[in-house]
Structure 1
């Protein structure tokens, strides 16, 4: 606040004393001062201008609210739902696409595995597990199963008995059929068996014998391995039949040749299920 010195306007009343027209909101209060000189016919007055606004003055108008931007309109609930449905549809589509690609990849891998297995079995290519792990399995040498089973041959006329090595149930594996006998090509422990069915139309007192023996070029002569002899095998003058079976375990040498003899060829039934001969290595 600043003091104001001046002369009061003539004719101004007390209410209007010290008020300026350009300051309607200010209140002027006169401050009396003592006289300075005797020859002055007036008393100077100092006016104190109060900078405070009149209590009854009108308050200043507030700033107007900002005008909303009309370029961006608020979205309605329908538009929001449409956007939500679109986003959900896109997510579901992406999920189904991923599942489809996974199934296709699995199917493709299974097909490749099957092709590799087929090629491995045909061309001895290492299996898929070996390719993945990088470990090479040692190849096991396939051992030949040494065995033979020969059946009766009705076309024979002399001893030892002649056999059928290939037809019907007969077979040979690692064992040779040579000179009416089974030739052993590898030494080892073998189970040897033979069965002969004797059958006649009339009973007589002949001796029935069934013998399995072996030969070897390194040893002269033959060695009987098994033998079966029978007497009084029938009664009266009727048809009869007798089965003779031999079987045992033997240690055979290389080049051993095994043969079968009977007492009477005419009494032998040469059906393959009734008369046979064989061996196999343990």
Structure 2
């Protein structure tokens, strides 16, 4: 069975790999990216299976127009993949206002725009799937990624809410959480001049690890793209899909630690309830 996919951020990384793998097996792909010419090689090879459009996900009006055009051109779309992303690698004080705005506009608001644009079409179809690409950093944190985390924790909260709201319409949403993977994303991270005050802090340590090439990237990008496709093929609709040993281990450790701390506050939490008589 073939499907039709709408994918953002297809010029490189997971978006490009998904597009390649889907086209090679005969699926149709509506691929959106800032520079459509980056997919000229795939268009030449696969012809009408590939529909492309220029898209800047930070432009809400453009997102609506492109999504509407894709549904109009292709008739139905089975899977919407929110993949476009932008990263800022800097301590909380080092990042510029423009960098902060760009990461929030792309990762959080851009994904929200795409979901809102697609939902009327998916409701009319009475079926559909949304894959929201997040990261291990949507549930745990690492120094120098505070603004990236802000966007990913935000989109995970949004997505979890949307999943419950749209389930009655036959629409499912899965948050996909790849770990650190050599997709070229790291080399495209925006950076800022380092402040000496952070040299001997966790932020400085992670900066040195990245500069020295000691930042582990255990994920296999092709396997991750395949796992996303396999999930859709399986018909399973989990709320989250962790992909990568680092994602599994880091998120699990974070959740266990958070639950342990949460449990220490049970007495004071209950003490402020209105029915305690306090």
Q: Place the TM-score, normalised by the shorter chain, in its bin.
A: under 0.3
TM-score, reference length from structure 2:
0.17
